[in-house]
Amino acid sequence: MCTLARAQSFLHRDESIRPDDVRVSLDDGERTYGPYQCSQFLT
């Protein structure tokens, strides 16, 4: 999650997007999980 969020914030650095501004959802074809924020996994 954090890698995806960090990459997105890097790509949009001109817009001052922080990794925690990015929401990531996972879809396994049967169910969608999320949206999650990076900070949820850092505690």
Q: What is the pTM of this model?
A: 0.62
Query: Which pLDDT belongs to residue 30?
Result: 97
At 43, the pLDDT band (50, 70, 90 cuts) reads low
Summarize pLDDT for 7-42 with one digit per residue, the tens: 988 998 899 888 888 898 999 999 999 999 988 877
CA-CA distances (angstroms) from residue 34 to 1, 9, 14, 16, 31? Answer: 10, 18, 26, 23, 10
Query: Which pLDDT belongs to residue 4?
Result: 83
Query: In total, how many domains does the chain have?
Result: 1
Range of the domain at 14: 2-41
